[in-house]
């Protein structure tokens, strides 16, 4: 079984990859590709998708550099400024530089209402759809209502919901909004962040019912795990984000589906040159 982690972040304090001027407090400690490769090797993870960390904002250069240096190990997802009229062209430019996918992070509330502006969103969604690259969405359940018309207008776009939309285990309305998206065949869900949304220690048992509902709604071929390293540090060990899937979720995920959850779903979106 090939294990592929579809969600990690890396950064490096280096003038070659400068922090944006608005980032007045960049991370003091590096989390480099090489550090991640060591963790991957220790836990049997063969490949990883690097998702642009918010600290860099819209400059995806470090992720692109890591992909260039380790093409058999990494693929990358970038960010573009969703309120920039040239955002769709930036998706194309970064794709030409080796980035395979774009991530949007609409907050719930006024700060994220740009997500409801079709004049801003449709060009980005259409460009990712035309390029055949996935769009990752980091948000919370109430914003999923605004996603529905975009999915209706862009039925051929591969879209991944990050971290189950950070739906709380007791949020039945949010859970319904998330699982209702299963009617769109190109939507996948990362069953990650159980360590974040849980009110319990490992193995975060209060979240298992949510994961099982997502699995039942989407099926094994449309869900995937993820570490969210190093954001997970302090709440979960790298290995725990994998063992909770292998040891705990195996109680309700069929063995043939586990192959998809741990690797094949991610490989359907990111080919790693295969």
Encode pLDDT of 176-210 as tens digits. 999 999 999 999 999 999 999 999 999 999 999 99
Using CA atoms, how far residue 241 sits from 56, 119, 179, in Å, is 25, 38, 22
In tens, the pLDDT along 148-179 reads 999 999 999 999 999 999 999 999 999 999 99
Burial class (CB in 10 A: 0-12, 13-18, 19+), 223: buried
**109 secondary structure, DSSP code:** S
Residue in 150, 11, 16 with CA at minimum distance from that of residue 76? 11
Helix %, strand %, coil % of the chain (to 5): 50, 15, 40
Residue whose tokens read 């790298």: 238
Judge contact between 62 and 100, C-beta under 8 A.
Answer: no
Residue 213 lies in a domain: yes
Q: Would residue 242 count as lying in a domain?
A: yes
Q: What CATH code is carried by the domain that includes residue 161?
A: 3.20.20.140
- Whole-number Å distance between alpha carbons of 22 and 8: 23
Please enumerate, as own/partner, the contacts of 212-219 that have beta carbons within 8 Å and a separation of 24 or more: 212/249, 212/252, 213/175, 213/179, 214/164, 214/178, 214/179, 214/189, 215/191, 215/249, 215/252, 215/253, 215/257, 217/178, 217/179, 217/182, 218/179, 218/182, 218/187, 218/188, 218/189, 219/182, 219/257
Inside any domain, residue 30: yes
Q: How many domains does the chain have?
A: 1
Domain ranges, residue 228: 4-269
In a domain, 220, yes or no: yes
78-122 per-position pLDDT tens digit: 999 999 999 999 999 999 999 999 999 999 999 999 999 999 999
Q: What is the pLDDT of residues 206-225, one digit of tens each?
A: 999 999 999 999 999 999 99
**Given a cut of 80, is residue 273 above it in pLDDT?**
no
Residue 24: what pLDDT?
Answer: 79
Inside any domain, residue 274: no
- Mean pLDDT over the full length of the chain: 97
Give the SS3 label for residue 146. Answer: helix
Q: How far apart are CA 243 and CA 3, in angstroms?
A: 12
Q: Which two tokens stand for residue 29?
A: 């400690």
Query: Would you state the pLDDT for residue 274?
Result: 66
Residue 263 lies in a domain: yes
Biggest CA–CA distance in the chain, Å, is 48
């Amino acid at each position: 079984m090939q294990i592929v982690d579809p969600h990690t972040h890396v950064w490096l304090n280096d003038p070659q990859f400068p922090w944006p001027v608005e980032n007045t407090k960049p991370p003091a400690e590096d989390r480099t590709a090489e550090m991640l490769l060591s963790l991957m090797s220790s836990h049997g993870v063969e490949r990883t998708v690097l998702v642009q960390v918010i600290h860099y904002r819209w400059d995806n250069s470090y992720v692109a550099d890591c992909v260039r240096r380790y093409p058999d190990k990494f693929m990358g997802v970038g960010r573009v400024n969703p309120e920039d009229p040239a955002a769709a062209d930036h998706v194309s430019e970064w794709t030409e530089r080796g980035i395979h996918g774009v991530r949007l992070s609409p907050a719930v509330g006024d700060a994220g209402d740009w997500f409801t502006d079709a004049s801003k969103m449709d060009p980005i969604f259409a460009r990712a759809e035309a390029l055949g690259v996935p769009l990752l969405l980091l948000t919370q359940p109430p914003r999923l209502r605004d996603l529905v018309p975009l999915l209706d207008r862009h039925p051929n776009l591969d879209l991944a919901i990050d971290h189950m939309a950070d739906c709380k285990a007791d949020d039945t309305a949010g859970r319904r909004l998330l699982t209702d998206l299963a009617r769109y065949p190109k939507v996948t869900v990362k069953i990650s962040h159980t360590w974040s949304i849980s009110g319990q220690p490992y193995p975060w048992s209060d979240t298992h019912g949510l994961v099982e509902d997502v699995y039942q709604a989407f099926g094994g071929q449309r869900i995937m795990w993820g570490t969210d390293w190093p954001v997970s540090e302090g709440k979960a060990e790298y290995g725990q984000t994998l063992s909770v899937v292998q040891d705990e979720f195996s109680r309700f995920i069929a063995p043939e589906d586990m192959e998809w959850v741990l690797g094949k779903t991610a490989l359907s979106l990111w080919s790693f040159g295969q």
